[in-house]
Chains A and B, each alone.
Chain A
Amino acid sequence: MAQNCNLSIRGKVIHLENNESIPGAYIWIEEIKNGAVTDLDGNFQVKNLCPGTYTIRIQYLGHEDINDTINIQNNSFNKTYRMKEGSLDLSGVEVHGHKDAVQTTTAITALYGEDLLEARGESLGESLKRVAGVTTFSTGNSIAKPVIHGMHSNRIMILNNGVRLEGQQWGAEHAPEIDPFLADEITVIKGAETVRFGPEAMGGVILVNPGALPTKKESTTDLYLVGATNGRMGNISVKHQGGSGKIQGLGYRIQGSAKRAGNIQSPEYYQRNTGLSELNFSGTLGYTGKNLGTELYYSYFNTELGILSDAHTGNLTDLEAIIANGRPFVEGDFTYDIINPKQKVSHQLLKFKSHYHINSNWKANLQYGFQSNHRQEFDKRRGDLNEQASLDLELFTNTLDLFVDHTHENNFSGTWGVNLIQQANSNVPGTGVTPLIPNYDMLNAGIYGMEKLSKGPLEVEAGARFDYRTVSTARYIGNDLQQSDLTYKNFTAFLGAYYQISNSFTISSNLGSAWRPPNVNELFSQGLHHGAAAVEIGDENLLSEKSLKWVNSLEFSDQKASFELTGYLNRIQNYIYLNPTGDTYVSLRGTFNVYEYLQANAFFYGVDFSGSYEFNKKFSGYLKGSIIRARNTEDDTYFPFIPSDRMDWGLAYKVGEDGKSHKFTLSNMLVAKQTRVPDFDLAPAPPAYALFNFSYLKAMPVGENKLNLGLQVQNLLNTNYKEYMNRFRYFTDDIGRNITIKINYQF
């Protein structure tokens, strides 16, 4: 038998402590005096090997070498190597900052680098539209909530630097209280991740993560200047980070941003009172040593934003009149002034995090977060009441996480821990309005564990969690004190697998259960919702939502092409939705629709796809899109506000090398009409639309520094359109042409 010397071995090199892949690690095979370097994902391949025994050495700066002896007879060799950080005692060895990667077998997409640069200046929700399968549920142009696979608000979770963001997420007009400039990378996990992150992460999780802190003496500053024509928006952000020369491993970062915008313009008119102003700040101080790492993080988010004047209707007749008109009655003009109705929101987050390496395999972690959220909503009222918020809520949240991680060079890694969430919500007295939601105290305790087995190209992961929650509420309706004590408990579990079929093909599958206790507004809402001219009534007896989501994803990437296909099925028991009762309520003010919170079984399924192809060195193209189907399986009807089918594709032309290039992109967004709508809606779903966008990016070195310049034109043709997922489609056309200029200087 002739010797077959066409065998190859494949493998992956990752950090032992956080499972993040290591690009640029050196693989050396002693016997053939040849080797390979890992790619961006930490993968490597060595070809043209004959069957036999080989000695492999893996090296990476600042890490302990790995020596392995392998025997190969066929092409099936594929192994994951975990590298341990070198000890501090060795002189000249670097200590790396911590940036914990998510270990998950679920479909995951990250926004970073050039894509994130293009998104700078946009809100978190708007930025995330760049990820296939993510859309927004918006209230005008300044309030955009991310929607993952048709789920939003309390059905998804947002993590601000590892802490679950606890704001008043229940409201459709409550945008996430987070500054996207914080992030170096925004990651979307599209699976049910209740086990890892706690209740409510049913539809998916969004991680807004800053980069790793410097651990040696160096300092970098990142400056962003963004200006946009529509709304005459100006946005500035500065980020500075550095490391201490005296104490190795000590690093800091400070970051701040400010944003101001006036009335935005639809193609034919200004939308009155749609300006906003934002002021954000964050600071981090961290120490990373051989065994111990600690981080102290603070972030402050503060916004004041106007609500389209015409969206504030007095009664149903008013509402019907403006809907029939399809646009505001009053021609607006440009101003930066923000008047009532408006929102003022501030959010503070303080986080302390520490980890301790018990030994080379086990790590103990502690994370404590304190959050304070203050939301004030001002309505158009009479006289002095205009100065008083009609909704004034203060929410305090404490979160405590204690967990241990372990990673073993052999096959297992995992996390075990407990999680406590304590929350107190108070209505600030003096609003002159019976509160929409009561004051409440909530305590949630969870215990969880998950393990992952990595065996060459295969990773299998499973986990389980148990949660217990108590909620006690109190509110006066008139002079009648109403109190409730509620408890919820639930068990969730998941099973997932990831398989690397070849160097360019991977497949993953994840089946996970998730739950969400009904939110306080769903339980206790009672009052008038001005924008919808509706009286909304909660139901104290609602049960927890329980879902089972199966996500499958196929990824392909080689030098020229990349492709990703994600398909999912999500069955939800007791899905809570706001249903028009068909009744109207009559008062001296006029007539209002009455809505009630109901529960039904639901079935969501869909696919997301994204791909790109380089035709040659200069020309490339991309395509991405998503399709979602959602049904009320009990009544055989549709739910409101489910995104319609959509697709975005574009062609790019790039000249120059990396670090000194010009890139032109012309893209086209196609959005179908939502034909799967509930029987009742205030207005029919708007027609399909197509938008053209243009983008130019220039990267150039300035001495040792880096300058990025960007010019973007959104809605190039100034098309009149309405988006089904925008609640203000009842009142106005969407935003017209917008030209944005971005300057980013890194020094």
Chain B
Amino acid sequence: MKTYQKLPFLALSAAVISMSSCSSEDPVPENDGEVITDVTLVFTELDESGATVGSPFSFSASDSEGIEVGTSPEVDDVTLEAGKTYQMEIEVGNSIAGEDITEEILEESDEHQFFFLGSAFVGTTAPLSYSYDDEGGINLGVKGIVVVEASPALNTGNLRIVLRHDLNKDFEGADNPSFENFVNAGGETDLDITFPLILN
């Protein structure tokens, strides 16, 4: 009986000891690995045979803060010439964690797909048309062909690029790079950028 009666006091001492020994860890800075801070469109002119002409030129959108509340992204104007055909490659990166996200997108090409929308690609007056030209003939959009009308109805427009993740790529209509109802194929948006388009 006597030992039982000591128990509360033992427990109390144990409690006091454990209470004083339990405190939070020191915080550690995290590199935001998921964030996309830079998207670059690299254009190279193609001739009629499909061979590259001249040197590549690029336009980019960047948001150094990533997703946190802060400044809005800086987006370049995309300037292209009427009547020309370009190869367009998209480079996606995370400058915070120093990661090449294009590589990850290529690795998970079955889960990702770019769509090309806005007045630049959609509608009867659209001056641009896009076709996928990725390695292995898949519909991904890391690499593709952009054709500019010879006499476009519009010489400015919105070039909207959407990257979908975890979509059903076999969904009816999803093979169209300018599929407006891309949400119906499921998944979520990883990127949604609108570049101003200027045609010379």
Contact = CB atoms under 8 A, between A and B. Distances in A.
Nearest to B37: A588
Interface stretch (A48-56, A66-74, A436-444, A497-505): A436-444
B22 A476 contact: no
Nearest to A421: B19
B67 A354 contact: no
A649 interface: no
Contact of A476 (B24, B29, B166): B29
Nearest to A474: B27
Contacts of A588: 36-37, 39, 61-63, 73, 191-193
Interface stretch (B8-16, B42-50, B77-85, B148-156): B8-16
Contacts of B37: 588
B139 to A, nearest CB: 18
Contact of A481 (B27, B68, B185, B192): B27
A390 B183 CA distance: 25
B86 to A, nearest CB: 22
Interface in B22-71: 22-34, 36-37, 39, 61-63, 66-69
B4 A440 contact: no
Given A368-B15, A382-B34, A382-B105, A356 B8 contact: yes
Contacts of B14: 368
Contact of B24 (A430, A431, A440): A440
B72 interface: yes
Contacts of A325: 183
Given A398-B18, A441-B23, A528-B67, A289 B12 contact: no
Contacts of B183: 318, 321-322, 325, 329
Nearest to A479: B29
A589 to B, nearest CB: 6
A523 to B, nearest CB: 15
Contacts of A366: 8, 11-12
B4 A476 contact: no
A315 B165 contact: no
Contacts of B26: 439, 474
Interface in A589-646: 589-591, 594
Nearest to B190: A314
Nearest to A528: B67
Given A292-B4, A314-B165, A586 B72 contact: yes
A370 B19 CA distance: 9
A330 interface: yes
Given A321-B183, A390-B34, A433-B32, A289 B24 contact: no
Nearest to A530: B188
B34 A287 contact: no
Contacts of A475: 27
A474 B29 CA distance: 11
A438 B27 contact: yes
A479 B22 CA distance: 26
Tier of interface size on chain B:
35 or more
B5 A380 contact: no
Contact of B192 (A356, A390, A478, A589): A589
A588 B4 CA distance: 66
A474 B166 CA distance: 35
Nearest to A427: B27
Interface residues of A, number: 72
Given A354-B11, A382-B108, A585 B25 contact: no
Nearest to B33: A432
A381 B67 CA distance: 14
A184 to B, nearest CB: 25
A553 interface: no
Nearest to A315: B189
A271 interface: no
Contacts of B191: 588-590
Contacts of B1: 289, 292
Interface string A496-528: 000000000000000000000000000000111
Contacts of B190: 314, 382, 589
A589 B67 contact: yes
B98 interface: no
Contacts of B16: 400
A399 to B, nearest CB: 9
A420 interface: yes
A559 interface: no
Contacts of B22: 396, 398, 422, 424
Nearest to B161: A588
B4 A426 contact: no
B135 interface: no
Contact of A537 (B11, B36, B69, B168): B69
For the complex of A and B, 8 pairs with smallest distance between CB atoms:
A314-B189, A432-B33, A590-B192, A314-B188, A330-B186, A476-B29, A426-B25, A321-B183
Given A318-B189, A398-B15, 13 more contacts: A287-B4, A318-B188, A368-B12, A368-B15, A380-B165, A382-B101, A382-B104, A382-B165, A424-B24, A425-B24, A427-B28, A585-B69, A589-B67
